[in-house]
Structure 1
Amino acid sequence: MPGDAVKVVLTSPRVAPGLLTRAAWQAFTDADEIGAAGGPMRPDVQALVGSGLVVTQVEGGPAEHWAWLSAAAADGRRVAWLVGEDGEPGLLRIVADQLSREPRPPYEVEILHGSYDVPGARLIDLVRVMDRLRRNCPWDQEQTHESLAKYLLEETYETLEAIDTGDRAHLREELGDLLLQVAFHSRIASEDLDDGFSVDDVAGDIVEKLIRRHPHVFGTVAAADAAAVEANWETIKAAEKQRTSVLEGIPLALPALALADKVLARAARQLPADHQLPPPVSDTDRIGAELLALVREARTLGIDPEQALRTTTHHLADEIRTNESAG
């Protein structure tokens, strides 16, 4: 450890203990002493001990930990510190404070990263937090799939609203709330001893589905454009589901415009393009037919009718608020 008497090694709790960078392993193997807080049962401490290294368990808080490090370094020993999974912010503040003072310590101090999160690593934290809430929070313990259903719907609409407004920070927050619903429902499902599944099962299923339905990416099927991709998707889906009707799988609880859009998309496979509904016998039938015709026109133009109406309604709401403010 030439030139550096103290090395403080940060690691990610979302990476398996022992999967350290070359620089981190070098710091530990070169050290005359290795220190860490907490008990010997820490998985990362066990990983070092299992590799033949000796780790000293240092009692106390950040001040005592720094005192141990600085005393060892002042004696000319090369020392490494294995930071715990909480990141030990108290110790890092002390280190930063010491290094900003004059005179500086008579030894070098380096903070290095021993492991890094991979994309999606924070999802592990979400699963851990959800597990703890389900065990220890009275409200979370009482929830069921049925009791959470309204929140799933609310969070979906709030996410759509964030998209409509273009507020990126709001969208980020609402996507988090929506993700929580997936984690919560999966956690509840895992408790069913007869027919349970976990969030890993949910993630595994969608990964397999995405690979299966994108043979142009993961296989040898050619797809020249987005239309070919969609056609491949629907062909594969039909073979998987083996449904008796093209309308199977459409949730009837969809908002009316979205439902009409879905039904028209499926109807195109069975009915001629100029198919007409029976003549209306009431104003309700007439309005319904006219709305359906507008949805069909929107499909022809590649426009989402639900989003189109939502956007126009928002414009109207803005005008109302403007008039109210002016008045």
Structure 2
Amino acid sequence: MNTTAAAHSTEAAPGRIVLLTTSHRVAPGLLSWPAWRALHGADRVLCADGAHPQLPYLREAGVTVDEAAPTAEDLVAACAGGRTVVVVATGEGEPALTDGLARLAGSGRVSMPELELLPASYDLPGARLLDLVQVMDRIRAECPWSSRQTHQGLAKYAIEEAYELVESIEAGDRGELREELGDVLLQVVFHARIAEEDAEEPFSVDDVAGGIVTKLIHRHPHVFGDESATTPEEVKEHWLRTKAVEKRRASVTDGIPLGQPALALAAKLASRARTAGLAVPLPRGEGIGYTLLSLAAEAESRGTDPEAALRAAARTYRDAIRRTEGV
């Protein structure tokens, strides 16, 4: 090929457009190796957002970034001659630009450059929890209702949401289950955000998460330590043993909330006694309370949750009432 033909071939080469996306949930500058290679190898790097959090780190690494928002036509022209142009996408992902490139490609009027979408950083599992924390921070600061809430005032909502979660589980509704899990999670994050403002003993959602991580690791020595457990019963023994050491409780009944529903309370007491190997006879007395206590203990010994069993029966009763009413 002669020099003139080679020059013509170079000019005709359509080049390459790389749309570089990053996650705001990952610290700026922590990019993948393919992303850094593309940035350093590009003929030009563009970014429409002069305040993009990645820009200081790119420039520190020796990457020249032009603050520009080219149209699709401008970008295709910039790639002429086989050049590579990297576009550092803004948080919205540059929809106007990508739509314009799609229209150009569909028109058949121009020779399109090679198009590549290159994720430079990825969300780790659980990354959306960071969004929840940020949203809660803003709501706490700016919402007239949320900014005045206290632990005491929100307590009833935690109970309500927990019951709604149980109802969605028992109904087998996956969509409702996902929503109710979110509502329960909101209560945790809300209380943790309020706790940050305590003058004497503040703590944050990170302290809450750190505490439960430490607890889970300590109570699962068969996973994170040298002990072994091959059955659910052995796992439960590990859990109860380590919990007893942590809490330094004098009685197996310590830590059982007496304010929970009565059937659940009775079953929990029976479970603790049985697990501890205590042969404690049920108290005898007259009245429906003692009868219910006996039934709850019997259900627990059979592996049945008396609360769930009674709710199921109550729903059947409700349906019968509605049929009688013609509803």
TM-score (norm 2): 0.89
Distance 1:189 1:119 in 2: 26
Distance 1:298 1:97 in 2: 67
CA gap of 1:183–1:105, structure 2 versus 1, over 3 A, is: farther
Shift of 1:211: 0.3
Distance 2:198 2:57 in 1: 34
Please name the residue that 1:283 is paired with.
none
SS class of match (1:306): helix
CA gap of 1:258–1:202, structure 2 versus 1, over 3 A, is: same
Q: Does 1:25 align with 2:26?
A: no
Letter aligned with residue 317 of structure 2: L
Distance 2:228 2:291 in 1: 40
Shift of 1:323: 4.2
Distance 1:104 1:308 in 2: 69
Please name the residue that 2:53 is paired with.
43
SS class of match (2:285): coil
Q: Which shows bigger deviation, 73-82 or 299-308?
A: 73-82
Aligned-residue identity in percent = 48
Distance 1:58 1:66 in 2: 12
SS class of match (1:42): coil
Aligned residues: 314
Q: What are the residue-to-residue correspondences of 1:16-95 with 2, within 5 Å?
A: 16-39=27-50, 41-58=51-68, 64=70, 66=72, 68-74=74-80, 76-95=82-101
Contact map agreement 2:252 2:273 (CA 8 A) in 1: yes
Distance 1:139 1:78 in 2: 52
Unpaired runs of at least 5, structure 2: 1-12
Shift of 1:101: 3.6
Give a deviation string over 1:73-119, Cα, whole Å, max 9, x none. 24653210111234343433333444344335432222221121111
TM-score (norm 1): 0.89
Shift of 1:67: 5.1
Q: Does 1:245 align with 2:256?
A: no
Give a deviation string over 1:145-186, Cα, whole Å, max 9, x none. 112112211111111111111110111011111111111111
SS class of match (1:138): coil
CA gap of 1:323–1:70, structure 2 versus 1, over 3 A, is: farther
SS class of match (2:24): coil
CA gap of 1:132–1:97, structure 2 versus 1, over 3 A, is: farther
Unpaired runs of at least 5, structure 1: 281-285
CA gap of 1:101–1:3, structure 2 versus 1, over 3 A, is: closer
Q: What are the residue-to-residue correspondences of 1:1-327 with 2, within 5 Å?
A: 4-39=15-50, 41-58=51-68, 64=70, 66=72, 68-74=74-80, 76-103=82-109, 105-268=111-274, 269=276, 271-273=278-280, 275-280=281-286, 286-325=287-326
Distance 2:19 2:206 in 1: 34
RMSD: 2.1
Distance 1:88 1:133 in 2: 28
